[in-house]
Amino acid sequence: METTHPKPHAVMFPLHLQGHVIPAVHLAVKLASKGFTITFVNTQAIHRQIIKSRSQHHDDDQDIFAGARKSGLDIRYKTVTDGFPLSFNRSLNREQFIEGFLHVFPAHVDELVGNIIAADPSVSCLIADTFHSWPSSLAQKYNLVHISFWTEPALVFNLYYHLDLLVKNGHFASHDNREDTIDYIPGVEAIEPKDLMSYLRETEVSTLMHKIIYKAFEDVKKADFILCNTVEELELHAISAVRGKQPIYAIGPVLSNIGQNGSIVATSLRSQSDCSQWLDTKPHGSVLYVSFGSMSPVNEHDMEELAQGLLLSKVCFVWVLRPDTMSDAESYALPVGFEDDIKDRGLIVPWCNQIEVISHPAIGGFLTHCGWNSVLESIWCGVPMLCFPILTDQPTNRKLVVDDWRAGLNLCDKKPLTRFEVREKISSLMSGKSAEVLREEMKKVKEIIHNAVDKDGSSEKRICEFICQVKTKID
């Protein structure tokens, strides 16, 4: 039955990092396919990086939503300055950049939103990454429904949400943090301090990153709705605990291969097809995919041990070496001579369509930094993980994958990493009884997340409920 509700029009602001822009693009496409008008806003710096990557791969289309628009979706695209010239190196001048992100960027966003609304008063919602600290005041100023998009697991959300409890109990920001089990966070049965997000393990707790977290988690408490890129069945307690306080919807996994294609970073078709052809020559489940995401630095020692461990393991692999086409970050280098040593046992690629590669039947394992998008994509494709978390939410994501879902192994039980441990763990991941057990467990988790996005699945239901509530709120 037709409703009389107006068509929601949301202005959407992802965080300026690849691991956040990617799910935001997929969310935009998903919401547009359910009747939203979306005005998607990237920073000019991110826009330039996307265009640069596209033109390197002979794709001169500057419009990242051209495909979605061709299928009739109402997605508009705008850019906003982050306050720094395009030539400014945001990675080398990180502190200065974060200061600007906190204090200058919000004014530019405010101006842009004012202009968008002046030109089109149909705008009714603001969807912003939870790490932004300004959405609630902006939403209030322009009378918009405030929707916060959380691109990491609900467990991580819950821990940041209850920072006050961690402080009160002496597990964070105390002179000498407690190291015993944390069992008082609503929705978190128990977690060891070592599994907390890297920012909560630091002794200096007044850095700019901490300021962002404090401000963002004050702000999200004023949001009208929270969308989380997870699946309710996988994180029931964490979701329920927040739901007791605010409307939160687990709507994941928001991925590119579900529904409309929202791929933003072009991949050279040639290298992608070279990769598929190479994988076609390998037995099922025999190849290890290796990638550490877009912003996680692997130090020289670990690179050496990883590379030598891979050689010792004799397993075939695809290694994404420069996944940083969308950041100013320095890429990490392989040890000298490695490429000659691997012969045809390994393929080193600068970038690929990850989900397409790991869904190839030849892929049998994923050596990952546990970025949340990679975790979801790996589960989606049913590929067990070898976990090597580096920073931010990755140690906590590891806990979910290895300890809770038993769909992966730890690469390194005790630092420093050694090549022999790498060899052994790769072997346990890829072959023998341990590999069989992991695949069985992974099958169960995969089924859960596939079911969630089915017509009657939990994520599909939640997104419909959310849209219904948003329309009522707009009314």
Which chain residues interact with ligand UDX by CB under 6 A? 17-20, 22, 151-152, 291, 293-296, 320, 323, 351-355, 371-374, 377, 392-394
Q: Which is nearer to ligand UDX, 37 or 268 (CB)?
A: 268
Residue matched to tokens 């002794």 = 203
Q: Which is nearer to ligand UDX, 42 or 354 (CB)?
A: 354
CA distance 257 to 130: 24
Sign of CA pseudo-dihedral 191, 195, 200, 201 = positive
Confirm if 429 and 384 have CB atoms less than 8 A apart. Answer: yes
Q: Strand 9-13 to strand 37-43: parallel, antiparallel, or no bridges (unpaired)?
A: parallel
Q: Is the N-terminal amide bond of 416 cis, ω within 30° of 0?
A: yes
Give the type of residue at 293: G
Q: Which is nearer to ligand UDX, 293 or 346 (CB)?
A: 293
- The residue among 100, 96, 83, 94 whose CA lies nearest residue 328 is 94
CA distance 229 to 427: 32
Confirm if 125 and 474 have CB atoms less than 8 A apart. Answer: yes
Q: Which is nearer to ligand UDX, 8 or 153 (CB)?
A: 153
Q: Which is nearer to ligand UDX, 224 or 393 (CB)?
A: 393
Cβ neighbors of 68 (< 8 A, separation 6 or more) are 28, 29, 32, 75, 260, 261, 262
CA distance 160 to 133: 14
CA distance 399 to 95: 30
| Min CB(326)–ligand UDX separation in Å | 8
Q: CA-CA distances (angstroms) from residue 8 to 66, 74, 121, 217, 468?
A: 21, 11, 11, 26, 10
| Min CB(238)–ligand UDX separation in Å | 15
Q: CA-CA distances (angstroms) from residue 470 to 122, 217, 381, 466?
A: 14, 22, 32, 6
Q: Which is nearer to ligand UDX, 141 or 270 (CB)?
A: 270
Q: Which is nearer to ligand UDX, 157 or 224 (CB)?
A: 157
Q: Which is nearer to ligand UDX, 55 or 140 (CB)?
A: 55
| Min CB(294)–ligand UDX separation in Å | 3
| Min CB(278)–ligand UDX separation in Å | 15
